[in-house]
Amino acid sequence: DTGVSQNPRHKITKRGQNVTFRCDPISEHNRLYWYRQTLGQGPEFLTYFQNEAQLEKSRLLSDRFSAERPKGSFSTLEIQRTEQGDSAMYLCASSLMLSPYEQYFGPGTRLTVT
Amino acid sequence: DAKTTQPNSMESNEEEPVHLPCNHSTISGTDYIHWYRQLPSQGPEYVIHGLTSNVNNRMASLAIAEDRKSSTLILHRATLRDAAVYYCILTSGNAGNMLTFGGGTRLMVKP
């Protein structure tokens, strides 16, 4: 399977704990995006990378959130001191730089903060 | 930012055509119209996009009004697998590279 993969698929954590999610994009894609989706809503943009450079961050991305893409391949999204409001599906997508709006999404990581 | 308006939900019978409308009356000349869909428990999936002319691909057709203030996604023969939330999204090269999803239309397909 050469699609976008995300791990873990599900994560349950207690409030205050740190969590980290991983995204492996389609190998030739140089753009990588993170979105968050809560129940009944469409996905909301969080941040995106072109290769290893983080080019844009949403105001939704509080100081507790950090994303990296160290070698321009896989990416990690870390949430520190989780809160119940962080419970959501975290989606990763990738695209070619020349087709930024044709994004291929992974299955998501569902985070539940108890 | 230009916004889109879609019905919350629609129903269709299996093997019949489905026309999913989207209004975007404040669209600018450089905005592309994209459609994505999200099947249950999956990430969104690109369907089709266009600028001014109607577009066809293996999944669907996109009909764009002459004044570009509305568009319609056409599924020629709905199958049960087409049951999903369909999102109409405007994109502009000046607005970054994120997709701005609205609430979408939940399509239910009856056998």
Nearest to B44 among A43, A48, A100 (CB): A43
Average pLDDT on A25-33 reads 94
pLDDT score for B95:
56
pLDDT tens-place string over residues B77-99: 999 999 999 999 998 765 567 89
Contact in structure between A92 and A106 (CB atoms under 8 Å) = yes
Write down the residue that tokens 């959130």 correspond to. A65
Beta bridge partners of B46: B36
Q: Kindly give the pairing relationship between strand B105-110 and strand B9-13.
A: parallel
The two three-digit tokens of residue B12, written as one number: 């269709």
B34 touches chain A (CB under 8 A): yes
Burial class, B6, CB count within 10 angstroms (exposed 0-12 / middle 13-18 / buried 19+): buried
pLDDT score for A98:
83
Beta bridge partners of B59: none
pLDDT tens-place string over residues A30-73: 999 999 999 989 999 999 999 999 998 998 888 999 999 998 89
Interface of B with A in 47-106 (CB under 8 A): 49, 85, 87, 91, 96-104
Q: Kindly give, in sequence order, each residue whose CB lies less than 8 Å from that of residue B99, ignoring residues fewer than 6 positions away.
A: A33, A35, A43, A45, A101, A103, B34, B36, B44, B89, B91
pLDDT tens-place string over residues B7-56: 999 999 999 999 999 999 999 888 999 999 999 989 999 999 999 999 99
**8 Å CB contact of B97 and A101:** yes
A25 touches chain B (CB under 8 A): no
**From CA B37, how far away is CA A2, in angstroms rounded?**
20
Q: What Rg do the C-alpha atoms of chain A give, in angstroms? A: 13
- Number of residues written out for chain B: 111
Cis omega before residue A8 (within 30°)? yes
- String of DSSP letters for A67-98: EE-TTSS-EEEEESS--GGG-EEEEEEEE-TT
